[in-house]
Amino acid sequence: MPELIQQGLWDDSPEGKVLIGSCCRECGAKAFPCRSVCSRCCSEQQTQTPMARRGKVLSYTRICIDVPAVDEAPYLVGYVLLDDGISVPARLKYFDVNPDVGSAVVFEVGVTGKTAAGEAITGYYFRPERGGEEACQER
Chain residues binding other proteins by CB under 8 A are 5-6, 9, 29, 31-33, 39-40, 58-65, 67-70, 75, 77-79, 81, 85-91, 98, 101, 112-113, 121, 123
Nearer to other proteins, 78 or 128 (CB): 78
CB of 123 to other proteins, least distance (A): 6
34/134 with CB nearer other proteins: 34
Identity of the residue, 42 or 67, whose beta carbon is nearer to Zn ion in the bound complex: 42
Closer to Zn ion at the Cβ: 31 or 136? 31
**Least distance between other proteins and beta carbon 14 (Å):** 26
Q: Are strands 120-128 and 87-92 parallel, antiparallel or unpaired?
A: parallel
- What are the angstrom distances between the C-alpha of 44 and each of 9, 21, 41, 87? 19, 14, 9, 22
Written as one letter, the residue type at 27 is C
List of residues contacting Zn ion (CB under 5 A): 24, 26-27, 29, 38, 40-41, 43
Asked if 9 and 21 touch (Cβ cutoff 8 Å), the reply is: no
Q: What are phi and psi of 135, to 5 degrees?
A: -55, -40
Cβ(88)–Cβ(103) below 8 Å:
no
Which entry of other proteins, Zn ion, none binds 80, CB below 5 to 8 A by partner kind?
A: none
List helix spans (H) across the chain: 132-138
